[in-house]
Amino acid sequence: MSDLLDRRATTETEGAGGGLPITFACAGCGYKAPAGRPVPLRCPRAVPDDDIDHVMTRALDLTHLSFPAGAESNPFIRYRTLFHAYHLARALGWTDADHVALVERLDAAVAAIDGGGFRTTPFARNAALSDRLGFAHDGGVYIKDETGNVSGSHKARHLMGTLLELEVATAMDAGVGSAADARFAIASCGNAALAAAVVAAAARRDLDVFIPPDAHPAVVARLRALGAQLTVCAREPGVPGDPTYRRLRAAIDAGAIGFTCQGNENGFAIEGGLTLGYELAADLAAMGTSLDHLCLQVGGGALASSCIGGLAEARALAATTLNPRIHPVQSRAAAPLARAHERLAHRLDSDDPTENDIAWAAHHRSAFMWPWESEPHSVATGILDDETYDWLAVVRGTIASRGWPVVVDEATLIEANEVARATTGIDVDPTGSAGLAGLLELRRHGRVGSNETVAVIFTGVQREIAPVASTLEAQVGGPR
Ligand SMILES: [Zn+2]
């Protein structure tokens, strides 16, 4: 492996254009990122309202990659050879140890700020929850617990992956992220913003966060303590779509780096999240367990896209044969992905769309995905995105898995959270247990049998409720 990479480094410096084993292209318009250079987070050909589903998406050269069998506890070290940044750094002349040192330095900074660095997260069958849901001994519910991850959710994975690409780009002094003083920017109401603030602070980068007026005061206080610059974005009457996202778009257009979890704005958010799928594949292989279903809560779509992609890569690299039915789970309050899935399935009139069908959909985004018309309210606040930004990858992966979306009501979201906390002792929040709500719905309708195995991801920890003495406006100094 090192000989191969050393040879590649020579090729790169000679300017022969030799490619890296991981390349990026836009899944919508086909733009190919130049080989051996930092990849733009966002497709540079994306323009407003062109109806193309621009997302920078990776492809692997399977002949030059293998699924890492290492036992390092930090997933960004264990799976480093599956990151574009790693191969970019090696092409730049770094040694393997140089890259590991970069990850360790950033991880130590994260730990100093947040109390712990990145470690593979627990994954196991939960007997009490399985019994409660009526599963037999050979079936059951497996939980991947992200509540103890950096900043209390899986979101930091998306942003650590992004940071690694940006840090190598900065070292290369070229391309996106090379301007060491460019600000990072994110639109989020909670976990993603907290994760971005921790990871950005670890890299000593300035961060702008665009938040809604109803962001939780405890989240706001923590963001301020981490040094993030906050902008509260109220909805404007008659203007559809998420106002925080519109402000983020404007900031990126003005030169900010989209340090965000929307896949169309930041393809590397998906790359960082692939570690979830890798860990699932490795853990299931170690247990010798099959997996029939995977229930994934969907808001902006990065979690589901990442898990689908990580498992697909693990299959391509022969690390697993598992191909569970994917069930994206949305709240009835905002279900743009389920709507898009229904429209695609209806339009194609087939359970097995061809590449041509997918390409057609990628060029007719507005036929499937547009902002949810009403302002959504739900106990699962983290999955109320107006749009599922990375919708096509999720719908495509769902169809390919022979799975289907599940839409759940408020009572089910609340019941799932109560059951989750009571049976597992994990302090998960209602967004984090929303995948389980989907499983409750599937069990209710007999669509998952008691002998089947199902995985859910508890994505985020329940935040402590801060004293509500001060209003959000008082804390952040006005609504604008
Ligand atoms: Zn594009």
**Which tens digits make up the pLDDT trace of 356-394?**
888 899 999 999 999 998 888 999 999 999 999 999 999
Could you tell me the distance, in angstroms and rounded to a whole number, from the CA of residue 129 to the centre of ligand 1?
43
Mind listing the pLDDT tens digit for each residue in 251-295? 999 999 999 999 999 999 999 999 999 999 999 999 999 999 999
pLDDT for the residue numbered 252: 94
Distance between Cα 30 and ligand 1 center (Å): 6
Q: Is 60 helix (H, G, I), strand (E, B) or coil?
A: strand
Mean pLDDT of the chain: 90
Q: 29 CA to middle of ligand 1, Å?
A: 4
Alpha helices (H) along 44-186: 75-78, 84-91, 96-114, 127-132, 155-172
CA dist 400 and 358 (Å) reads 12
Q: How far is CA 203 from CA 206, 252, 268, in A?
A: 9, 19, 17
Which pTM was predicted?
Answer: 0.91
pLDDT at residue 12, rounded to an integer: 37
Give bridge partners of residue 109 from the DSSP assignment: none
Closest alpha carbon to 227 in 194, 249, 189 = 194
- Centre of ligand 1 to C-alpha 391, Å, is 15
Residue 130 CA to ligand 1 center (angstroms) comes to 43
Residue 101 CA to ligand 1 center (angstroms) comes to: 34
Question: In angstroms, what is the span from residue 41 Cα to ligand 1's centroid?
Answer: 11
* pLDDT of the residue at 239: 81
Percent of the chain's residues with pLDDT above 70: 90
**Residues with Cβ < 8 Å from 147, sequence gap 6 or more?**
153, 426, 427, 428, 432, 458, 459, 460, 461
Beta-carbon contacts of 169 under 8 Å, excluding residues fewer than 6 positions away, are 38, 88, 175, 176, 177, 178
Q: Spell out, as residue ranges, where the chain has pLDDT lower than 70.
A: 1-18, 174-180, 349-353, 465-480
- State the pLDDT at residue 235: 86
pLDDT for residue 16: 33
Per-residue pLDDT, 476: 44
| Cβ atoms < 10 Å from Cβ of 15 | 8
Ligand 1 centre to CA of 264 (Å) is 9
Q: How far is the CA of 465 from the centre of ligand 1 (A)?
A: 42
pLDDT at 244: 93
Rounded to the nearest whole angstrom, what is the distance from the C-alpha of residue 474 to the centroid of ligand 1? 41
CA of 362 to the centre of ligand 1 (A): 10
Cα(115) to ligand 1 centroid in Å equals: 39
Q: Report CA(42)–ligand 1 centroid distance (Å).
A: 8
Distance 268 CA to ligand 1 centre (A): 15
β-pair partners for 455: 142, 294
Distance 53 CA to ligand 1 centre (A): 7
Enumerate long-range contacts of 475-479, CB under 8 Å, 24 or more apart: 475/217, 475/220, 475/221, 475/224, 476/220, 476/224, 476/230, 476/232, 478/232, 479/213, 479/232, 479/234
Beta carbons of 361 and 392 less than 8 angstroms apart: yes
The per-residue pLDDT for 349 is 66
Q: How far is the CA of 263 from the centre of ligand 1 (A)?
A: 12
Measured in angstroms, how far is the CA atom of residue 43 from the centroid of ligand 1? 5
Nearest Cα to 277, choosing from 297, 305, 299?
305
Helix and strand totals (H; E) in the chain: 17, 12
Total residues belonging to the chain:
480
- 81 CA distance to ligand 1 centroid (A)? 26
Distance, CA 293 to ligand 1 centroid (Å)?
32
Predicted pLDDT at 238: 81
307 C-alpha vs ligand 1 centroid, how far in Å? Answer: 22
Distance (angstroms) between ligand 1 centre and the Cα of 338 equals: 24
Q: What separation in Å is there between the alpha carbon of 275 and the centre of ligand 1?
A: 25
